[in-house]
Chain A
Amino acid sequence: MITKDKIDNFIEKIPPSPEVLRETLALLNIGELTKAAKVAEGDLALKSYLKNIVNKPIYGFKNEVSDISQIFGILGVSLSQQTVYNYMITLLSPKKWLLFKLNSKLFYELQAQLSKKWEIILKHLHIEDKNIYGAISLLPASVIVTEALFCEKIDDVNLLRTTKDLDYNTILNRLCGVGLFDICEQIADKWEMDKIVGQIIQAASGIKPSPVENIDQLGKWMHLLLFYELSQPLFIEAGLNNFIDFQIDYIGDVYDEFASVMDIG
């Protein structure tokens, strides 16, 4: 159904991060927001994406924000970097979604919801590391990878799933010995994201706990946040609720705190 060759081929086809983005990220990394904004202005698609995402209701701005330097100024270094990473991930998304009932608008919504709530969690945990802020951007890449690998096998997967409740990550792992989050980590490596991004994402899969305690804790929060979002009607209807398995035992010790932070119950 899916072979290791197909996975290698997918990874090989991931383009290197564009020069403008690399320069923007490098400047954001040293806190040069104005210079970064000037560079970012040169990429019209990035400019349009940033405007689109920060003007979503979840960001809570009363008036439309359209100037890049204004956007970076409001977001600050960590969130600007996170948003640029989000844009990089969208470069991998398909023009037309076949496996999931998604479109670019809905995918951006998923990114925005995850990013904003991740920010709330990190503030609650008193974490300021910008790489940890950026880690959430890689999470939706798992959806893109699933779409890319399985979109030609929809009938097979549907047939399989009428008999056994297998998620895409398990199918991939059993067939090829590689999981969706391994592929996400390879994307992070290819785009020279900080090592910690890949490590958190692996823990957030819920099936590969990190031996490093604080990374493992962040993985638990991220895993729970993902399923909090995937329980929203829009994303359930898009077919995302069961694309990977929710590891309920893994998140047991952070659930009450999460429920309190997200005001659930």
Chain B
Amino acid sequence: MKAVVKNGIAVFSPQGFLDGNNTNSFLGIEDIEAAKKLKADMILVSLKKVVFFNRNGLDTFIKLFLNIRKKNHATVGFCDYDNKKYMAIKRFYQDDVNFSLFKSLDIAYLFSSSFKNQNKNVLVFSHDRSQRSAIAIELHDNGHNPVIAQSEEEYNEKKENKDAYDYIIDSTFLGQMGQKVATRVTGNAIIYTISSFLDVEISEQFNIEYHNNSLNVGFRLFIFDAYKVISMNVHALNFFSKLASSAAEYNASICFVGMKFNKTPKSFKETLEDAGILFYKQMDDILQNKELLKELGASSASNIKNKRALNKETVIELPNFIDATVVTIEMMTNSKAIKEAAEVHKLVIDNKEGKIASSIGYYGDIDGMVILVFPSGIAKKACELLIGENTDDTELILDTLAELVNIVGGKIKTLLSDKLINVDITLPRTYQDVDSLLEVVENRKGVQVDLSFDNDKFLFFLTR
């Protein structure tokens, strides 16, 4: 069984009955190896379609997952259960729960550092006081606004006011959480929260794919919230120095906020400053200073001084990129996709009104970014297979468009690997209007191809 990965969470969805005899069959050696390679923040088993389970069944999953966790520091556990299943799990394990429990997958997303949809108001309740605090701290580190109900009465009272909260969390338990670096987005800056002792593990805990993706899609200001850092060693120093060097290629700024050097050699600060890292005492010193924000590159999502031109390697592989898009659209719509015209220039979008877009980056032997621009209604049609219902919910359509471009990215990866060109794909990004897309790709040259299916036109743009 393969995991479905979304928003940094890999989910296995077994169906029916789970016991000690069959759990190993759900996850073969190949599946475990594939899961180890996933750069997921969490690896969860959905119990949504499980009608019966016993402790042996869950134990086998947990053993397999703890093994994966050793390798990639992901949070592991279960999600999508009702109260009866939650009570059963708590009864099986009593006080010995070393995994996490998320009532629903949507709740789990709130704790994923790859979840873009942040700044949510979340009501939190747990009978366990330490859990209430742990949940609130994690949510806060991930850029949400938790409100803790201190008692069941207060919780029942507060949850009546449904409009006040985007999410309500109960029957959720944070076991050993992943040690991934928490990430949140504020305006055009990305904030990473680091804490404790920083050593060689930082390279495993830091989601470099997400960081590269953010650079590729135009983010230029990265802030490390380092208030809770106690010290760092030379391995962490090297890691941050390298990160600063790679950021310099994109003209991006990396800042540390709140870092104290009581237990870290002062010379480390000088080394980091030499590498280009800036230090500030407080977060507001940056976020409240518009001039500084502009200087650091956060006034616009795009501020590349050294724009990279399309190169020969990319142009040679252009048919593969177009094929991947055409094949995916044909698969999703059961209709013939047609290439109409191709030209090299800056992205030109005639009528911006009502258009949405999605992009995905790739890097490795070659690198670049594929962008698809659709009129909203046609995006909905192209995503019909994934959406499955008639909807005008823009968030859902954008979310599904991200899934579609992710499939295109997967296809690109396959087509290129057939030619022994190895690339990885970044997380997809969506744009609910064309202006926010143009901010990112403004002045970049690329190949623009007009495509259509069922006479519905959309646009493909390949750039670097």
Contact = CB atoms under 8 A, between A and B. Distances in A.
Given A165-B13, A237-B25, A259 B388 contact: no
Nearest to B27: A236
Given A163-B407, A228-B17, A3 B334 contact: yes
A171 B4 CA distance: 16
B52 A248 contact: no
Nearest to B19: A231
Contacts of B348: none
B437 interface: no
A233 B25 contact: yes
Contacts of A156: 331
Contacts of A255: 51
Contacts of A237: 25, 28
A227 B51 contact: yes
Interface string A208-245: 00000000000000001001101111101100011001
A242 B388 contact: no
B52 to A, nearest CB: 6
A260 to B, nearest CB: 12
Contacts of A170: 388
A159 B331 CA distance: 11
A108 B161 CA distance: 56
Contacts of B14: 231, 236, 241-242
Contacts, number: 98
Determine chain A's interface SS by DSSP, over half rule: helix
A264 B17 contact: yes
A151 interface: no
A161 B18 CA distance: 22
Nearest to B5: A162
Contacts of B17: 227-228, 231, 264
B23 to A, nearest CB: 9
B403 A246 contact: no
Interface string A1-19: 1110000000000000000
Contacts of B385: 160, 166, 171, 174-175
A265 interface: yes
A160 B331 contact: yes
25 contacts: A1-B330, A3-B334, A156-B331, A158-B2, A159-B414, A161-B4, A162-B2, A163-B6, A163-B403, A170-B388, A174-B384, A174-B385, A175-B385, A224-B51, A230-B16, A231-B14, A233-B21, A233-B22, A236-B1, A236-B25, A241-B26, A242-B13, A246-B51, A251-B51, A264-B17
